[in-house]
């Protein structure tokens, strides 16, 4: 009797853990089947090399490069904000600040990640863009720059928090050895600690990038809805995620080619983030144990 | 746990507050009036229905928005009582109604105008011709027309950033039909949104912008935008470039970006007391409500004429045989019909 009970509980636990696996599988299957249907009508070469994306218009073009370009552009801007800031914060908290200060500031920083992204979007649209327009008169109302900057602020905690954890995991002996050799604080931080924690830092950066690529609301609100093959951050662009939002909000008939474009776009996005997450997983596994 | 119980009971208590029926000063009618059709007329019908529910709480009014064409399909199968239409009924739809044995009463309820706008700081655009608009928006312009001086040589060499309705919007169909000459045919490289507020935001914050949307959205944001007068090159309906306004839309001189909006009533349903009272309410309030939702009201004299047409149950369309609805004086038309 007890054995049956145990088995039942065990089965239930397995079932719970499998729910997530099946959800992922389900998403992949739906994406894949719709994407296959999509590519039976659209050439895969055109999809990956075309520079015009107008599937909703009479003259249909299915080149996803403009959307990829918009996605990469905003991500690039975001990372160039978040990486220096996040890393500096992590080093400061770990090497310079006293523990009390760290204990207060770290949770405060993590609040940044808890702000709803739609709020960030409106912050970019109604505050950052007008502010930037004071300096750059040619800036469009919707643009990649302000969306990217604000997205960078949003992902700071991803980098600072995870990097700080990585720095803290570096054995004390390394830091003491550095001081023993007569290094200054700055030298210790950037010549010894950061390289020693590099695997964790790289993982944090990759996770932040994958977060930025999948970010939807900020770019949907502030970056515009004009698929454009450009790396000019001053004009409006459209990201993969924005396009998916745009189509699912409008009344595009289901089972039409237009409708399937969102699955193919979603597939492209999924592959992007999937690869990045796996790379970070691999780096973590391969390099983390070095100092233990 | 205690907290949860309190929270739950509070929610229930609050939810039950909203359920009161507003019987108002109605005649105690009951029944259901089913409306469907154009998404352009939808805000007006919905506003009327909302007001109507306050006075006649017993009558259920449902308003859908499956498009003028989709609405007529249901209408011809007598699935709905009233169809909202942003254009007169087409000959093939007349045929469908005949097959379904559905007679219809056609009533104009308001005008709809599209505004072409630029940024407030734009000093060089004084007017645009339909030809120039076509040059900007036609499919061939995609990736080619990128600066203002390509539109007119006297304009400066500045980038032109476009904002317009998305392809799911009736406004898009209408604009492309009026300007490019073929519905659903335009360039694809512009900021497309179904949400007109996004377009207002875009044009008002981009000094190189050009956009179009319903006149209502211009009126509500007039301080942030600059209206562009349109010259259709046809002196018969007003010489030169004409800016859209309640006046130019009603007298048919703002062409081709204005059109009348209609409701079509199933002739059989028109005998029902609930439908009768709803249509009367519609015509009585359309003028004030269209202002509220930003459409343009018909001249005041037209509504009583429409009511007369409804009372006499005159079926058929005043626009049979392909007669154009643009630039028509509604009062004259309805008078001639009586």
The Cα diameter of chain B in Å comes to: 77
Domains contained in chain A, number: 2
Check whether A74 has a pLDDT greater than 90: yes
C-alpha Rg value of chain A to the nearest Å: 23
Query: What pLDDT, on the 0 to 100 scale, is given for residue B165?
Result: 86
**Distance in Å, alpha carbon of A261 to nearest chain B alpha carbon:** 15
Count of A-B CB contacts under 8 Å: 86
Higher-pLDDT residue of A200 and A2 is: A200
- Mean pLDDT of the B160-171 span: 83
Check whether A72 has a pLDDT greater than 90: yes
Query: What pLDDT, on the 0 to 100 scale, is given for residue B105?
Result: 93
The partner residue sitting opposite B161, judged by closest CB among A133, A140, A252, is A140
pLDDT by residue (tens digit) across A128-139?
Answer: 999 999 999 888
Residues of B in contact with A138 (CB under 8 A): 207-208
Residues B80/B36, Cβ–Cβ less than 8 Å: yes
Q: Are residues A21 and A107 in the same domain?
A: no
Query: What pLDDT, on the 0 to 100 scale, is given for residue A16?
Result: 93
Higher-pLDDT residue of B6 and A27 is: A27
pTM, full prediction? 0.74
User: What angle, rounded to 10 degrees, do the helices at B302-311 and B330-337 form?
Assistant: 30
CA dihedral sign, ordered A185, A186, A191, A192: positive
Residue A139 covered by a domain: yes
Query: What pLDDT, on the 0 to 100 scale, is given for residue A251?
Result: 63
| Residue-number span of the structural domain to which A34 is assigned | 2-40
Check whether B3 has a pLDDT greater than 60: no
Check whether B241 has a pLDDT greater than 70: yes
- Mean pLDDT of the A253-262 span: 84
Q: Are residues A135 and A275 in the same domain?
A: yes
Whether residues B205 and A57 touch (CB distance < 8 A) is answered with: no
* pLDDT band for position B17 (cuts 50, 70, 90): very low
Check whether A145 has a pLDDT greater than 90: yes
Residues in chain B, overall count: 338
Range picked from A31-35, B298-302, B333-337 for highest mean pLDDT: A31-35
Helix (H, G, I), strand (E, B), or coil: what is residue B103?
A: coil
Q: Are residues A19 and A90 in the same domain?
A: no
- Mean pLDDT of the A207-221 span: 93
Residues A248/A226, Cβ–Cβ less than 8 Å: no
The partner residue sitting opposite A226, judged by closest CB among B168, B182, B191, is B191
- Mean pLDDT of the B188-210 span: 88
> Which one of A50, A54, A62 makes the best mutation probe of the B interface by having the most chain B beta carbons within 10 Å?
A54
Check whether B1 has a pLDDT greater than 50: no
pLDDT by residue (tens digit) across A4-21?
Answer: 899 999 999 999 999 999
Check whether B284 has a pLDDT greater than 90: yes
Whether residues A52 and B167 touch (CB distance < 8 A) is answered with: no
What is the per-residue burial (b if ≥16 Cβ within 10 Å, else e) of A207-222? bbbbbbbbbbbbbbbb
Helix (H, G, I), strand (E, B), or coil: what is residue A115?
A: coil
Q: Are residues A77 and A205 in the same domain?
A: yes
Query: What pLDDT, on the 0 to 100 scale, is given for residue B321?
Result: 61
C-alpha distances in Å from residue B5, one per residue of B17, B152, B223:
19, 69, 51
What is the per-residue burial (b if ≥16 Cβ within 10 Å, else e) of B271-289? ebebbbbbbebbbebbbeb
Residues of B in contact with A227 (CB under 8 A): 188-189
**Distance in Å, alpha carbon of A222 to nearest chain B alpha carbon:** 10
Check whether B248 has a pLDDT greater than 50: yes
Query: What pLDDT, on the 0 to 100 scale, is given for residue B30?
Result: 84
Residues of A in contact with B224 (CB under 8 A): none
The partner residue sitting opposite A252, judged by closest CB among B161, B168, B204, is B168
Residues of A in contact with B191 (CB under 8 A): 142, 224-226, 236
Residue A281 covered by a domain: yes
Whether the predicted interface score ipTM is above 0.85:
no
Higher-pLDDT residue of B165 and B15 is: B165
**Torsion of the alpha carbons at B338, B307, B170 and B76, rounded to the nearest 10:** -80
CA dihedral sign, ordered B3, B6, B10, B12: positive
**Torsion of the alpha carbons at A204, A208, A213 and A215, rounded to the nearest 10:** 150
Residue A56 covered by a domain: no
pLDDT by residue (tens digit) across A76-114?
Answer: 999 999 999 999 999 999 989 988 998 898 888 888 888
Distance CA B204, CA B118 (A): 8
> What CATH number corresponds to the domain at position A160?
1.10.3720.10
If one counts every other C-beta atom within 10 angstroms of the C-beta of residue A126, the result is: 14
Q: Are residues A28 and A85 in the same domain?
A: no
pLDDT by residue (tens digit) across B295-331?
Answer: 888 888 889 999 999 998 888 888 766 566 555 667 7
Distance CA A15, CA A175 (A): 46
* pLDDT band for position B19 (cuts 50, 70, 90): very low
**Torsion of the alpha carbons at A262, A264, A267 and A268, rounded to the nearest 10:** -100
Q: Are residues A26 and A69 in the same domain?
A: no
* pLDDT band for position B16 (cuts 50, 70, 90): very low
Q: Are residues A133 and A271 in the same domain?
A: yes
Check whether B133 has a pLDDT greater than 60: yes
Query: What pLDDT, on the 0 to 100 scale, is given for residue A283?
Result: 84
Q: Are residues A73 and A200 in the same domain?
A: yes
Of B279, B267, B229, B256, nearest to B326 by C-alpha is B256
Q: Are residues A159 and A247 in the same domain?
A: yes
Residue A60 covered by a domain: no
- Mean pLDDT of the B87-108 span: 89
Q: Are residues A117 and A31 in the same domain?
A: no
- Mean pLDDT of the A247-273 span: 84
pLDDT by residue (tens digit) across A148-185?
Answer: 999 999 999 999 999 999 999 899 899 999 999 999 99
The partner residue sitting opposite B205, judged by closest CB among A129, A226, A252, is A129
Query: What pLDDT, on the 0 to 100 scale, is given for residue B326?
Result: 57
Residue A189 covered by a domain: yes
Check whether A249 has a pLDDT greater than 80: no
Query: What pLDDT, on the 0 to 100 scale, is given for residue A222?
Result: 93
Check whether B252 has a pLDDT greater than 50: yes
Residue A184 covered by a domain: yes
Q: Are residues A164 and A267 in the same domain?
A: yes
Residue of chain A minimizing CA distance to B162: A226
* pLDDT band for position A250 (cuts 50, 70, 90): low
**Chain-wide mean pLDDT for chain B?**
83
Task: Please return the burial class of A43, using the count of CB atoms within 10 Å of its CB with bins 0-12, 13-18 and 19+.
Answer: exposed
- Mean pLDDT of the B126-147 span: 91
Q: What is the DSSP letter of B297?
A: P
Task: Please return the burial class of A4, using the count of CB atoms within 10 Å of its CB with bins 0-12, 13-18 and 19+.
Answer: exposed
**Chain-wide mean pLDDT for chain A?**
90
Residues of A in contact with B190 (CB under 8 A): 226
Give percent above pLDDT 90 in chain B.
37
* pLDDT band for position B23 (cuts 50, 70, 90): very low
The partner residue sitting opposite B189, judged by closest CB among A142, A226, A250, is A226
A283, containing H or E segment = helix A257-287
> Which one of A50, A52, A57 makes the best mutation probe of the B interface by having the most chain B beta carbons within 10 Å?
A57
Residue of chain B minimizing CA distance to A245: B193
Whether residues A246 and B193 touch (CB distance < 8 A) is answered with: yes
* pLDDT band for position B91 (cuts 50, 70, 90): confident
Q: Are residues A122 and A23 in the same domain?
A: no
Residue A29 covered by a domain: yes
Query: What pLDDT, on the 0 to 100 scale, is given for residue B174?
Result: 82
Residues of A in contact with B204 (CB under 8 A): 141
- Mean pLDDT of the A52-69 span: 89
Half-sphere exposure of A19 (CA within 13 A, CB side): 6
Residue A57 covered by a domain: no
Check whether B335 has a pLDDT greater than 80: no
């Amino acid at each position: 009797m007890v054995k049956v009970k145990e088995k039942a509980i065990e089965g239930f636990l397995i079932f719970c853990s499998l729910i997530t696996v099946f959800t992922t599988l389900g998403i992949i299957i739906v994406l894949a089947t719709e994407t296959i249907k999509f590519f039976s009508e659209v050439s895969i070469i055109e999809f990956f090399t075309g520079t015009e994306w107008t599937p909703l218009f009479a003259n249909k073009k299915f080149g996803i490069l403009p959307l990829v370009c918009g996605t990469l552009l905003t991500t690039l801007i975001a990372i160039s904000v978040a990486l220096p800031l996040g890393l500096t914060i992590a080093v400061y908290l770990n090497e310079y600040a006293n523990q009390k200060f760290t204990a207060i500031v770290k949770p405060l920083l993590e609040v940044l990640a808890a702000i709803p992204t739609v709020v960030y979007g409106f912050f970019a649209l109604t505050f950052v863009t007008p502010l930037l327009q004071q300096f750059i008169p040619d800036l469009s109302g919707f643009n990649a720059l302000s969306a990217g900057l604000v997205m960078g602020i949003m992902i700071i905690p991803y980098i600072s928090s995870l990097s700080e954890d990585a720095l803290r995991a570096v054995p004390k002996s390394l830091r003491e050895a550095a001081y023993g050799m007569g290094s200054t604080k700055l030298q210790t931080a950037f010549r010894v600690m950061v390289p020693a924690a590099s695997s964790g830092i790289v993982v944090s950066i990759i996770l932040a990038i994958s977060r930025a690529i999948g970010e939807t609301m900020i770019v949907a609100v502030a970056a515009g809805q004009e698929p454009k093959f450009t790396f000019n951050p001053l004009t409006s662009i459209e990201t993969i995620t924005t396009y998916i939002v745009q189509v699912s909000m409008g009344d595009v008939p289901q089972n039409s080619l237009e409708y399937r474009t969102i699955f193919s776009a979603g597939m492209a996005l999924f592959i992007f983030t999937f690869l990045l997450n796996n790379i970070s997983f691999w780096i973590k596994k391969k390099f983390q144990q070095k100092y233990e | 746990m205690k907290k949860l119980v309190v929270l739950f009971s509070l929610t229930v208590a609050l939810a039950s507050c909203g359920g009161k029926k507003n019987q108002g000063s109605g005649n105690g009618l009951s029944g259901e009036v089913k409306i469907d059709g154009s998404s352009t007329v939808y805000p007006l019908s919905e506003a009327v229905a909302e007001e109507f529910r306050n006075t006649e709480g017993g009558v259920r009014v449902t308003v859908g928005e499956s498009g003028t064409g989709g609405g007529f399909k249901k209408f011809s199968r007598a699935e709905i009582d009233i169809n909202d239409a942003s254009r007169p009924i087409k000959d093939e739809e007349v045929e469908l109604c005949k097959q379904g044995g559905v007679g219809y009463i056609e009533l104009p309820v308001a005008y709809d105008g599209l505004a072409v706008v630029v940024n407030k700081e734009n000093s060089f655009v004084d007017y645009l011709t339909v030809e120039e608009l076509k040059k900007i928006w036609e499919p061939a312009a995609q990736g080619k027309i990128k600066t203002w001086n390509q539109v007119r040589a006297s304009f400066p060499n500045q980038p032109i950033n476009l904002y317009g309705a998305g392809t799911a919007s009736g406004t898009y169909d209408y604009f492309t039909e009026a300007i490019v000459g073929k519905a659903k045919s335009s360039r694809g490289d512009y900021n497309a949104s179904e949400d007109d507020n996004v377009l207002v935001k875009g044009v008002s914050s981009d000094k190189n912008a050009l956009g179009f949307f319903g006149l209502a959205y211009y009126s509500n944001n007039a301080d942030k935008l600059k209206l562009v007068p349109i010259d259709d090159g046809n002196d018969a309906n007003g010489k030169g470039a004409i800016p859209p306004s309640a006046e130019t839309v009603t007298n048919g001189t703002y062409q081709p970006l204005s059109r009348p909006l209609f409701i079509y009533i199933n002739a059989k349903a028109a005998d029902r007391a609930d439908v009768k009272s709803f249509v009367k309410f519609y015509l009585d309030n359309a003028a004030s409500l269209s202002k509220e939702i930003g459409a343009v009201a018909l001249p005041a004299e037209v509504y009583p004429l429409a009511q007369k047409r409804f009372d006499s149950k005159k079926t058929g369309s005043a626009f049979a045989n392909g007669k154009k609805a643009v630039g028509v004086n509604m009062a004259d038309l309805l008078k001639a019909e009586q």
